[in-house]
Structure 1
Amino acid sequence: MKHYYYQRVKQAVRFIEDNLKHELSVDLIAEQACFSKYYFIRVFMAVTGDTVGEYVRKRRITRSAEDLISTDKSILAIAMDYQFESQEAFTRSFKSVYRITPAKYRKRGFHQLAYRKNELSDSKIEHLNKYITREPQIVETTPKKLVGVFTSTSSSQAHNNIRKLWLSFIPRIREIRHVKDIGMYGVHPYDSESKVEDFSEQFTFQKWAAVEVNHYEDIPAGLACYDLPAGKYARFTHKGGIRDFHISMDYVYGTWLAASDFELDLRDDFEHYGERFYGPENPASEIDMFIPIK
């Protein structure tokens, strides 16, 4: 039965993607999935985590953002292309997703990664239903003393140093004394000079690979200390090692955060690789993702 629902929703998503520049209604989309309107609304939400209306709106905004960068069309023309009744209505909706106006987005000249809404491909729909907890646990963490290494990196494949960072760090864990548990931490420290709205493939940020220790004594040469503050977090669990980890991140920032009653807080975010992590390529591995909220 689940497979039947997934196939119908995938069919509806393909129809939406092909018709973002045309008038769409829930009735019309439900027809493509061979469901009644009211049943389809419930099934779509259960499978994707979005309402039909929110998915359509966010996908139109994300596609319009691409057009702002890649074309010379006027903002009004782009608004009309994506079925907004006026430039003002488009600007309000765009700002609610990207946190800035279409004019400022175009002026910056790069694609923002945070808060965007990616297309729900077949693999992503499967991922949402098997490999990510859709609703997080809200937790209060304690302060942690970490020892590890760090690097500057970006999301672009050409400049992503995170794999290299872990390969250099893992062999050195045996040198560290006073380790508190078997887990490892991947930390993205908060940078007060940058905003999540500025996060693009070219954006450079710091990333740590570390373990928790009881106290800072006898730190091996070449390793550094990092204090991870306490705070309130939404804890998600990503399943399947590092494979498709970005899909889980896209869900958290593109679907869950915008629909929740929480706001992203200005603190570090991090991952914990604990006893359920069996290696980066192991499909049984689980990674806990900690998103700072308020």
Structure 2
Amino acid sequence: MHAWEAVQKSVDYIEEHLQENIRAEVLAEIAGLSPFYFQRLFKRLVNKPLQEYVKLRRLAEAIDTLNTGNPRILDVALDYGFASHSNFTRAFKDTYGITPEEYKKHRPLLNTFVKPILSLGYEMADEGVPLIVENIILEIRREHLDTPEVYLGLSADVSITAQTPVGERTGIDVPGQLWISYHKEKKAIDQYIHPNIELGMSYSADEEKETFSYFAGGLAKNIPQKLNGGFVQQELPEGDYIVCSIEAESFEELVSSALDQAGKYLFSTWLPRHGLTTKPFSAEKYNMTLQETNRMEIWVAPVTLSKE
């Protein structure tokens, strides 16, 4: 058994027992490792210490529970292993920047830590051949765009450090909130955009400010002389691309855990192993005219890594 397979067993166990007491010794036994070596290997492969990971997954599941009916915050806290209301509130605010009460009142989208699929760090998808991992289907191909595609939508700055998987931290999901705003306001530009083709783009990283810009919008059918209401124009340039298509069982899973896992796989595993990096942007493309409604694509412009 590979080391990642042993740790994946413990990750799967954690997921099934988030509402129970989880002991490192039990997890180590499941993985067939000593407690000391298990915790070192877990941190290396999951990129979080064991207890921190358990806390983040419990908080992520607690958010789902808070969205189901109208449970008492104290009950949710106790169900997920927090000793008290205040202990839960402290952990919640440290992780997401708001209290559970504020979350229940405003219901912002939160950037949570998802359960990892460790095999994605060790499996290699051939171009044009689907890779099936758990409930996700990935397929990678090369694409050439002959002419630029122009999109109209909204843009916002995002903190790099507070946006998983880039910064591996959690907080308000600014791109997700931007999509909500776009879908509420896009009727103002309906006459100019294709109703079923949308694009999200990360670009213009500012290392000094530790931010990048994110755009959410629709494919332009024609371009107005002037854009009002905060709408901006963004372009997917002509050129060569690596395209990673993603399919999942539900749209909610597609734009959360599946997108997170696919992004990590593409940028951390597939591209480096092919001697590639990318130009400083990436795009998420949605085409609702396709039969596979729970499908999207990540578009990146490849650059060959220097051998020096």
Q: TM-score, normalised by structure 1?
A: 0.51
What does the per-residue CA deviation read over 1:89-124, in whole Å, with 9 as the maximum and x for residues that have no partner?
Answer: 1001111222211111112246x242x01122xxx2
Going by fraction, where is strand more abundant, 1 or 2? 2
Would the alpha carbon gap of residues 90 and 287 (structure 1) be closer, same or farther in structure 2, given more than 3 Å must change? farther
Identify unmatched segments of 5+ residues in structure 2: 125-142, 159-170, 184-202, 213-241, 247-257, 266-279, 284-295, 304-308
- Aligned-partner residue type, residue 170 of structure 1: L
Report the Cα offset of residue 126 of structure 1.
2.1
Query: Residue in 2 aligned with 1:66?
Result: 64
SS at match of 1:172: coil
Which one has more relative contact order, counting CA pairs under 8 Å at least 6 apart? Answer: 1
2:115 to 115, 119, 127: 119
SS at match of 1:32: helix
Asked whether the equivalents of residues 10 and 27 of structure 2 are also in contact (C-alpha less than 8 Å), the reply is yes
Q: Does 1:241 align with 2:254?
A: no
Q: In 2, Cα distance between the equivalents of 1:172 and 1:191?
A: 27
Asked whether the equivalents of residues 22 and 83 of structure 1 are also in contact (C-alpha less than 8 Å), the reply is yes
What does the per-residue CA deviation read over 1:179-207, in whole Å, with 9 as the maximum and x for residues that have no partner?
Answer: xxxxxxxx984259xx944554862459x
Query: Residue in 1 aligned with 2:291?
Result: none
Q: In 2, Cα distance between the equivalents of 1:47 and 1:31?
A: 17
Query: Residue in 2 aligned with 1:145?
Result: none
Q: In 2, Cα distance between the equivalents of 1:230 and 1:9?
A: 34
Report the Cα offset of residue 173 of structure 1.
4.0
Q: In 1, Cα distance between the equivalents of 2:77 and 2:297?
A: 43
Q: Does 1:13 align with 2:11?
A: yes
What is the aligned-residue identity percentage?
23
Q: In 2, Cα distance between the equivalents of 1:87 and 1:67?
A: 15
- Aligned 1:71-150 pairs, distance under 5 A: 71-109=69-107, 112-114=109-111, 116-120=112-116, 124-129=117-122
Report the Cα offset of residue 129 of structure 1.
5.0
- Aligned 1:201-216 pairs, distance under 5 A: 203-205=180-182
Q: Does 1:171 align with 2:182?
A: no
Report the Cα offset of residue 231 of structure 1.
2.4
What does the per-residue CA deviation read over 1:38-67, in whole Å, with 9 as the maximum and x for residues that have no partner?
Answer: 100111122221211111000000000111
Q: In 1, Cα distance between the equivalents of 2:172 and 2:62?
A: 20
Would the alpha carbon gap of residues 242 and 49 (structure 1) be closer, same or farther in structure 2, given more than 3 Å must change? same
Asked whether the equivalents of residues 22 and 82 of structure 1 are also in contact (C-alpha less than 8 Å), the reply is yes
Query: Residue in 2 aligned with 1:270?
Result: 281
Asked whether the equivalents of residues 99 and 197 of structure 1 are also in contact (C-alpha less than 8 Å), the reply is no
Would the alpha carbon gap of residues 10 and 75 (structure 1) be closer, same or farther in structure 2, given more than 3 Å must change? same
Report the Cα offset of residue 281 of structure 1.
8.1
Q: In 1, Cα distance between the equivalents of 2:155 and 2:82?
A: 38
Identify unmatched segments of 5+ residues in structure 1: 132-166, 175-186, 207-227, 253-268, 273-279, 289-294
Would the alpha carbon gap of residues 189 and 80 (structure 1) be closer, same or farther in structure 2, given more than 3 Å must change? same
Would the alpha carbon gap of residues 82 and 198 (structure 1) be closer, same or farther in structure 2, given more than 3 Å must change? same
- Aligned-partner residue type, residue 98 of structure 1: Y
Q: In 2, Cα distance between the equivalents of 1:188 and 1:106?
A: 26
Q: In 2, Cα distance between the equivalents of 1:96 and 1:50?
A: 16
What does the per-residue CA deviation read over 1:134-176, in whole Å, with 9 as the maximum and x for residues that have no partner?
Answer: xxxxxxxxxxxxxxxxxxxxxxxxxxxxxxxxx9x933249xx
Query: Residue in 2 aligned with 1:141?
Result: none
